Amino acid sequence: MDDAPLVRKHTGDFHWEGVDVLRYKQEGEAPFKDVTRQVLFESASLPAQLRYFEVAPGGHTTLERHEHVHAVMVIRGRGQCLVGEHAYAIGERDLVNVPPMTWHQFRAAADAPLGFLCLVAAERDRPQMPTRDEASQLQQVLDKL
Amino acid sequence: MDDAPLVRKHTGDFHWEGVDVLRYKQEGEAPFKDVTRQVLFESASLPAQLRYFEVAPGGHTTLERHEHVHAVMVIRGRGQCLVGEHAYAIGERDLVNVPPMTWHQFRAAADAPLGFLCLVAAERDRPQMPTRDEASQLQQVLDKL
């Protein structure tokens, strides 16, 4: 962003001038399905970053937790999120707050993408993955929704 | 946000559960017209805040500058912004980057509101106002658009 133009236009379909569509994570790093990542704002002048993630229909982000928090606003489509021990149906403009060390996962609906802004601190710890038992327990919460 | 529910639904018309619609600034503090402010995310766990500002048709924010930066995404309507020495037409999903100590102002179109997310550091300096000469010079840039 420090070298970025002052204004970057939305070019349609949730893409922006000068913003690359990136892998969500490296393949094999953690389980996920059909997610892209775009970094909208990062700057040496700002202690935070704003990213746009898009989960394709039927896809999902990694089930994980970490010390750093997520501040999320859905801006496209709909789906579900798991935060802690509860699952929620979410849609456009809903706000999601992921506190420290709280399990979370975002899933798109079967027939719609789920696109969301995610605000994080610039400095942050690495995510932790659940054990197999933890994962299957959490999975049940999401599947009940 | 620390005490906020994990999910806050959008209740329609750019309002959210548990989010108050606030004055943009105290009356008389600085010149502005028809602007509201909603703080979407602020937390002791996050070194940044995300706010939603809405400028009614024909309204405008204060013309000001400061050391802290703004990372802006328009999410409603359209209008213009002045950043530094240039004015830009902006609309839904466009991104605006306001660098340190750069004059800036956001204006709604005459016939549409301008609603935008604004990401800032949690700790920030107070805005500076232009002198009357500076203001009239900058005004000319916006009026040419």
* Nearest residue of chain B to residue A8 (CA atoms): B95
What SS3 class is residue A24? coil
Neighbours of A15 (CB within 10 A): 14
Average pLDDT, integer, range A78-101: 97
pLDDT in tens, B98-117: 999 999 999 999 999 999 99
Give the separation between CA A91 and CA B115, rounded to whole angstroms: 19
Q: Which of B14, B41, B101 to mutate to test the interface with A (most CBs of A within 10 A)?
A: B41
Element (H, E) at A49: strand A48-60
User: What percentage of chain A exceeds 70 in pLDDT?
Assistant: 98
Q: Is the CB of residue A58 less than 8 Å from the CB of residue A108? A: yes
Give residue B119's pLDDT. 98
What SS3 class is residue A44? coil
Instruction: Give burial (CB, 10 Å; 0-12/13-18/19+) of B67.
Output: middle
DSSP assignment of A61-126 equals ---BB-SS-EEEEEEEEEEEEEETTEEEEEETT-EEEE-TT--EEEEE-TTS-EEEEEEEESS-PP
Please name the residues in contact with A26: beta carbons below 8 A apart, sequence gap of 6 or more.
none
CB of A81 less than 8 A from some CB of B: yes
pLDDT in tens, A94-139: 999 999 999 999 999 999 999 999 999 999 999 999 999 999 988 8
Using the beta-carbon criterion (under 8 Å), do A6 and B41 form an inter-chain contact?
no
Give residue A139's pLDDT. 85
Average pLDDT, integer, range A18-35: 87
To the nearest whole angstrom, how far is the Cα of A80 from the nearest Cα of chain B? 11
Give residue B2's pLDDT. 63
To the nearest whole angstrom, how far is the Cα of B8 from the nearest Cα of chain A? 5
Give the separation between CA B65 and CA B62, rounded to whole angstroms: 9
**pLDDT surpasses 60 at A6:** yes
Give the separation between CA B67 and CA B100, rounded to whole angstroms: 4
Give the separation between CA A99 and CA A138, rounded to whole angstroms: 17
Average pLDDT, integer, range A37-45: 96
Residue-by-residue pLDDT tens, chain B, 145 positions:
566 799 999 999 999 999 999 989 877 778 888 999 999 999 999 999 999 999 999 999 999 999 999 999 999 999 999 999 899 999 999 999 999 999 999 999 999 999 999 999 999 999 999 999 999 988 888 887 7
The 8 Å CB, 24+ separation contacts for A18-27 are A19/B95, A24/A53, A24/A61, A25/A62
C-alpha B94 chain-centroid distance: 13
Using the beta-carbon criterion (under 8 Å), do A46 and B48 form an inter-chain contact?
yes
Give the separation between CA B56 and CA B113, rounded to whole angstroms: 5
